[in-house]
């Protein structure tokens, strides 16, 4: 199944919030464009280079009115998008837990620190494209609209102004794999530290007994130092990339200045147009869009890696559990546990096993065609050598492992 199909199943965990976030995102990213348009009219009305429809005062008032509107829309967007994110993450983590619990843990599972990592970071990395998808439409519409508005003013200038953004993003994209290596190293080091915290806390007595308090802390220090170094490297590289990205805005401003100067002298490019262009290349939905889109593509790739890591700790038969919809409500406190399914008249009279079979997939040991009748009030001893199947029998009976051939009745 393709990554996209899996991600669509994640969207289905909370589809309405996803739609709502996308609708709000159009306003959230679109409204800032209006500020540029108002500024353009404002400057043009001041120098009266082009005829204006609205008076200067009206423009200032309009600008002031837009501010609370933008704030309200962005708060709504934050709420919807944030709630969607929490919904998706908590559903995924809960489902992952349920999936792991639904069957025997896989043999040779990862250490606790790594497991914590899978729970927190891999679920997040897997769902990342979906989280970003919640404002993809608004982002794209806003960028497209900005380009159209600029192109209507002057098409070559629009291309010149936006080209540096796209070019720089393409260049930094090529460095992403390089950055990714540092990110992986940090994650691995963090995983070691969190795992070590768990171990040390769990082994306090063993450490005291061995008189190893100082050495255990020293060991922890070393792990912490490795993490610090990895984190520092990642931060430096990421900051360098960020500043290159920021530089693209400065480059765009330069491009507008150089090519705009002679157009302005010729009178085909007004001061208002100039204000509009410089606002658009610096205002964040437009300036950040190329980087956002590039990031989305990279996150899409990374999403698959994390999904595979989640599948690794899930038994194959309970992978679908990960995408189960469970409507967790914050209203009304914790859910009540229903005991309806416990039969109240159920006095166990007879336990009967007919042809119960389970073989461990890795060792091929287990029980085969096991039949047994145990009546109420009788006392049965089950004995046998190590590996004869005593534990497996009980596990199969209790449903801890799936029976290959079923035949237990009460």
Contact residues for other proteins (CB under 8 A)? 28, 35, 39, 42-43, 46-47, 56, 59-60, 63-64, 67-68, 70-71, 74-75, 77-78, 81-82, 107-113, 132, 135, 192, 195-196, 198-199, 202-203, 205-212, 215-216, 218-219, 271, 275, 278-279, 282, 292, 386
Closer of 267 and 377 to other proteins (Cβ): 267
Neighbouring-strand partners of residue 352: 373, 409
Rounded to a whole number of angstroms, the minimum distance from the CB of residue 282 to other proteins is 6
Closer of 116 and 401 to other proteins (Cβ): 116
Closer of 288 and 322 to other proteins (Cβ): 288
Closer of 60 and 171 to other proteins (Cβ): 60
Closer of 95 and 114 to other proteins (Cβ): 114
* String of DSSP letters for 5-62: HHHHHHHTTSHHHHHHHHHHHHHHHHHHHHHHHHHHHHHHHHHTSS--SS-HHHHHHH
Rounded to a whole number of angstroms, the minimum distance from the CB of residue 401 to other proteins is 18
Rounded to a whole number of angstroms, the minimum distance from the CB of residue 393 to other proteins is 19
Rounded to a whole number of angstroms, the minimum distance from the CB of residue 313 to other proteins is 13
CA distances (Å), origin 149, targets 153, 161, 164, 388: 7, 13, 18, 78
Rounded to a whole number of angstroms, the minimum distance from the CB of residue 324 to other proteins is 27
Where is 373: in which H helix or E strand?
strand 366-375
* String of DSSP letters for 58-115: HHHHHHHHHHHHHHHHHHHHHHHHHHHHHHHHHHHHHHHHHHHHTSPPPTTPPPHHHH
Rounded to a whole number of angstroms, the minimum distance from the CB of residue 52 to other proteins is 12
Closer of 215 and 228 to other proteins (Cβ): 215
């Amino acid at each position: 199944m393709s990554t996209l199909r899996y991600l669509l199943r994640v969207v289905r965990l909370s589809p309405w919030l996803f739609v709502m976030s996308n609708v709000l995102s159009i306003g959230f990213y679109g409204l800032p464009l209006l500020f540029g348009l108002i500024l353009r009219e404002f400057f043009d009305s001041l120098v009266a280079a082009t005829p204006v429809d609205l008076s200067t005062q009206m423009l200032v008032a309009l600008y002031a009115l837009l501010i609370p509107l933008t704030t309200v829309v962005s708060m709504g967007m934050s709420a919807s998008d944030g709630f969607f994110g929490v919904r998706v993450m908590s559903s995924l983590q809960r489902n992952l837990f349920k999936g792991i619990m639904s069957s025997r843990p896989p043999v040779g599972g990862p250490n606790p620190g790594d497991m914590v990592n899978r729970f927190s970071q891999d679920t997040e990395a897997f769902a990342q494209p979906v989280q970003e998808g919640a404002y993809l439409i608004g982002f794209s519409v806003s960028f497209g609209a900005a380009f159209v508005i600029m192109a209507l003013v002057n098409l070559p200038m629009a291309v010149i102004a936006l080209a540096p953004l796209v070019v720089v993003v393409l260049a930094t994209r090529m460095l992403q794999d390089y950055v990714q290596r540092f990110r992986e190293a940090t994650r691995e080091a963090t995983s070691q530290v969190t795992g070590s915290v768990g171990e040390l806390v769990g082994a306090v007595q063993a450490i005291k007994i061995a008189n190893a308090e100082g050495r255990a802390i020293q060991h922890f220090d070393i792990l912490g130092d490795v993490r610090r170094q990895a984190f520092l490297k990642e931060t430096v590289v990421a900051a360098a990339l960020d500043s290159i990205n920021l530089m693209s805005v400065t480059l765009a401003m330069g491009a507008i200045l150089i090519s705009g100067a002679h157009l302005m002298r010729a009178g085909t490019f007004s001061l208002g147009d100039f204000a509009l262009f410089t606002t658009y290349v610096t205002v964040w939905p437009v300036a950040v869009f190329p980087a956002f889109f590039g990031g989305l593509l990279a996150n899409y790739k990374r999403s698959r890696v994390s999904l595979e890591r989640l599948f690794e700790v899930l038994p194959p038969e309970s992978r679908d559990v990960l995408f189960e919809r469970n409507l967790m409500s914050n209203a009304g406190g914790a859910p009540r546990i229903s005991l309806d399914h416990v039969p109240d008249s159920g006095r166990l009279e007879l336990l009967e096993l007919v042809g119960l079979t389970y073989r461990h997939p890795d060792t091929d040991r287990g029980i085969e065609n096991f039949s047994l009748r145990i009546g109420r009030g009788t006392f049965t001893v089950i004995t046998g050598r190590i590996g004869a199947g005593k534990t497996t029998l009980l596990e199969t009976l209790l449903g801890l492992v799936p029976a290959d051939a079923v035949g237990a009745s009460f």
